[in-house]
Chains A and B, each alone.
Chain A
Amino acid sequence: MTPLVLFYIAGAFALGGAVGVVGTRNVVHAALFLLVALMGVAGIYLLLFAEFLALVQVLLYGGAIIIVVLFALMLTRLQEFSSGVMENKQWPIAALVSLGAFILISVAVARSQGGAITDRAGPGVLLLGESLFTQWAIPFEVASVLLLVALIGAIVIARSGEGEP
């Protein structure tokens, strides 16, 4: 199929899943709608010559982050305390603000000149890897330290302290 049709299909998954995340009453359903949205985004990466990034997206988001969110939801029954209306008192204003932001950004984008995709291949893992370990080595190491800090912080925060109920 032409790339445009595939783009519309993947975009429908992404936007449909996003609407599901913000619109559903059930928290577990919201987490699974997020999975659908993120798989749609992975499909869009495939169309934009980012194959490695698409697979990283599937692996990290689908296989790690959604599972962490589902663990947190299921172990603490957080959904029982959000009965009734899921929205704030200020949801009409929020809807107006997001709609306004969308129109603003779309108009600004449509006025600029964007190129069209030519038939070329993406960078491939070799170039990405070389770049990540030579030019971007310091952000890479900082990111790994960040992950370590987040891991230790999450363990320290979430475990019940000694003598606490």
Chain B
Amino acid sequence: MITLVHVQVLSAGLFCIGLYGVLARRNAVLVLLAIELMLNAVNVNLVGIAAFVDHSKFLGQIIAVFVITVAAAEVGLALAIILRLYRNKGTTNVDQLNLMKW
């Protein structure tokens, strides 16, 4: 029997793997992929709660649809920004993109 704990532990696992990816990767595109993982973890959590707790309402699924939409828009825009940065600075290493540091 699947229980809510199963789903939420899976969601936590995905979220923390994505968190590690965001914190520890150098390439900006890989950071973007890890952000996608985190957004999907949130979606899994929402859909799980909609299935277990929110009987016969599906609010979680609707919010998940909106999260997927926002994620798609964000990926397109972020890739455009990364391409621009690559063209201007010649690198996608997030350690070297530090113009705004003091």
Direct chain A–B contact by Cβ atoms under 8 Å: yes
Which A positions have Cβ atoms within 8 angstroms of B? 3-4, 7, 11, 14-15, 18-19, 21-22, 27, 30-31, 34, 37-38, 41, 44-45, 47-50, 52-53, 56-57, 60-61, 64-65, 68-69, 72-73, 76, 78-79, 81-82, 85-91, 93-95, 97-99, 101-102, 105-106, 109-110, 112, 114-117, 120, 122-123, 127-128, 131-132, 136, 139, 143, 146-147, 149-151, 153-155, 157-158, 160
Q: Contact check: which of A3, A61, A157 meets B81 at CB < 8 Å?
A: A157
- In B19-44, which residues have CB < 8 Å from any A CB? 19-21, 23-27, 29-30, 32-34, 36-37, 40, 43-44
Q: Contact check: which of B24, B27, B62, B73 meets A131 at CB < 8 Å?
A: B62
Contact indicator A73/B29 (Cβ below 8 Å):
yes
**For residue B19, which residues in chain A have a CB less than 8 angstroms away from its CB?**
94, 97-98, 101
Q: Contact check: which of B10, B17, B26, B52 meets A11 at CB < 8 Å?
A: B10
Evaluate whether A117 and B14 lie within 8 angstroms (CB atoms) in the complex, with A44-B44, A88-B23 already known: no
Q: Contact check: which of A47, A61, A122, A158 meets B80 at CB < 8 Å?
A: A158
Shortest distance in angstroms between B95's beta carbon and chain A's nearest beta carbon? 7
Cβ proximity bits B65-92 to A, threshold 8 Å, 1 near / 0 not: 1101111111111011111101100111
**For residue B64, which residues in chain A have a CB less than 8 angstroms away from its CB?**
50, 53
Contact indicator A109/B79 (Cβ below 8 Å):
no
**For residue B1, which residues in chain A have a CB less than 8 angstroms away from its CB?**
3-4, 116-117
Contact indicator B16/A101 (Cβ below 8 Å):
yes
Contact indicator A27/B27 (Cβ below 8 Å):
yes
Shortest distance in angstroms between B9's beta carbon and chain A's nearest beta carbon? 5
Shortest distance in angstroms between B41's beta carbon and chain A's nearest beta carbon? 8
Give the nearest-CB partner of A131 in chain B: B62
Q: Label chain B's interface by main secondary structure.
A: helix
Contact indicator A21/B13 (Cβ below 8 Å):
no
Shortest distance in angstroms between B69's beta carbon and chain A's nearest beta carbon? 5
Q: Contact check: which of A45, A76, A114 meets B5 at CB < 8 Å?
A: A114
Q: Contact check: which of A47, A81, A127, A157 meets B84 at CB < 8 Å?
A: A157
Give the nearest-CB partner of B51 in chain A: A48
**For residue B37, which residues in chain A have a CB less than 8 angstroms away from its CB?**
18, 21, 34, 37
**For residue B56, which residues in chain A have a CB less than 8 angstroms away from its CB?**
120, 123
B100 at the interface (CB under 8 A from A): no
